[in-house]
Amino acid sequence: MKIDGIDKKIIRGLIKDARTPILSIAREAGVSGAAIHQRLRKLEKAKLIDGYQMRINHQSLGYSRTAFIGIYLDTDTLLPSVIKRLKDITEVLECHYTTGNFTIFIKVICKNDQDLMNLLETKIKTIKGVSKIETFLSLNQQIDRQFYI
Decide if pLDDT at 69 tops 80: yes
Write the CA distances from 119 to 86, 109, 116, integer angstroms.
11, 10, 5
Mean pLDDT estimate for the chain: 95
The pLDDT assigned to 9 comes to 93
**88-102 tens-digit pLDDT:** 999 999 999 999 999
> Model's pTM, two decimal places?
0.85
**17-47 tens-digit pLDDT:** 999 999 999 999 999 999 999 999 999 999 9
- What structural domains does the chain harbor? 5-45 (1.10.10.10), 58-137 (3.30.70.920)
Any residues with CB less than 8 A from the CB of 125 and at least 6 apart, and which? 133
